[in-house]
Each structure stands twice: as structure tokens, then as C-alpha cells.
Amino acid sequence: MLQIFKALLIGMLLAGAPMAHADLLPPDVLARNTTNEVIRIVKLDSDLKSANSKRIYDLVETRVLPHFDFKRMTQLAVGRHWATASPPQQQALVNEFRTLLVRTYAASLSSVADYKIDFKPLRMRPGDEDVMINTEVSKPGAPPITIDYRMEKQTEGWKVYDVLVDNVSLVTTYRGSFNTEVRKGGIDGLVAALSRRNARN
């Protein structure tokens, strides 16, 4: 499970880096171009390869976050409990979940350059605004892993709202533990649990 989760986080990073006029690009072209760009940056930047935390977080903030719909990701991860949360609670959940994801997968940034990404042909009909980008990720000495990106076309362009590794979804992976926290302490209990976890990272 740890290997799957690490690949899932790497997949999120590879999907995220913005390109000029990204909203004009088809989702598969955007994903392919941005993957190559992130790998290029990591290979050339010695601070990233040496795990310089400030440089890593700067790259994540500028290259990754604009292309993820963290509100929808949080809503899917919280599931049916989302509707019971007040607007301030919902925003707190988005903020804490965003921080958790960023801090977790930023730690995997330096290993991105070790991976080879094979993009599969896109199955998309004219007018589709919700698509799945299928890829196979491999590195020497390890079996290949499938990584799929769920992307939605929004006014700002295509955004990722879920990542699946070997059919394991990021948002559903978190949903079970989130439900447990809500049952124990309500929405505020979940926010507090995420805040404590983020404080430890």
C-alpha cells in the first residue's frame, strides 16, 4: 500500500505543473507537456534533488496547486458529511486537506526524475468536460504501475480532482479515515485531526 500511495502522490505532482495557455490545451497534451516540464526542472535543479524544503514548496505552490480542484477533492473525500458542514467548516477542511496533500507529496519530489511515464491514447468525445487520463509509470527495478487522472474542464482550464493508482482512488483512500474522525468528533473533530497531522509534518 505504501508503494501505491507514493506513486499516487508522484502522479499528482506530475499532473500539476502549469503551462502557458494551459486552458487551451487538450487534457492529455497538458498532462504530457507538464510531466516533461516537471521532470526537466527536477533534473536541472540541484536544490530539489538535495531535498531543499523551501525550493520544493515553492515549486509545489507555483507549479502544482493552480491545476488541482482541492475543494472538489475535499468534498469527495469527506463524502456525505460534507453537506452537514457549515461554509467556514468546509473552508477549514479544504485548507487542511490541501496542506496535508502538499506536504505529503512534496517529500516525494526528488524521486520524480527516476520515473518514466507512458501516456495512453485519450478516449474523449467532442464536448466531454470530464475525462480520464490513463498512464503507466515505471522505473528500473520495479513493476509498472497504472496512474489515472480524473480531470474536469472548468472556466480556468482542465483541473485534476482525483488520482487513481492501480484503481486505488486518492479521495476514497482518505474517506474511510475521515468518516471515522467525523463519527468520533464531528466535522470540527476532523478539522482538528487534520490540523494535528499537519503540525507533525
Model confidence over 135-171: pLDDT tens digits? 888 888 888 888 888 999 988 888 889 988 888 888 9
Tens digit of pLDDT for each residue in 26-75? 888 877 777 777 677 777 776 665 656 677 777 667 766 777 899 999 99
**What is the pLDDT confidence band of residue 192, given thresholds at 50, 70 and 90?**
very high
Quote the pLDDT of residue 44.
73
CA 106 to chain CA mean position, Å: 11
Cα gap 3→25, rounded to integer Å: 31
Bridge partners for 128 per DSSP: none
In the chain, the number of structural domains is 1
* Residue carrying C-alpha cell 472548468: 154
Helix/strand/coil (H/E/C) assignment for every residue in 150-176 = EEEEECCEEEEEEEEECCEEHHHHHHH
Report pLDDT digits (tens) over 108-139: 665 666 777 888 999 898 889 999 999 888 88
Where residue 183 falls among pLDDT bands split at 50, 70, 90?
A: very high
pLDDT confidence of residue 61: 72
**One-letter amino acid of 146:** T
CATH code for the domain of 171: 3.10.450.710
Q: Which range of residues forms the domain containing residue 127?
A: 2-200
Mean pLDDT of all residues belonging to the chain: 80
Burial state string for 133-170 with b = 16 or more CB within 10 A and e = fewer than 16: bbbebeeeeeeebbbbbbbebeeebbbbbbbbbeebbb
Query: What is the chain's length?
Result: 201
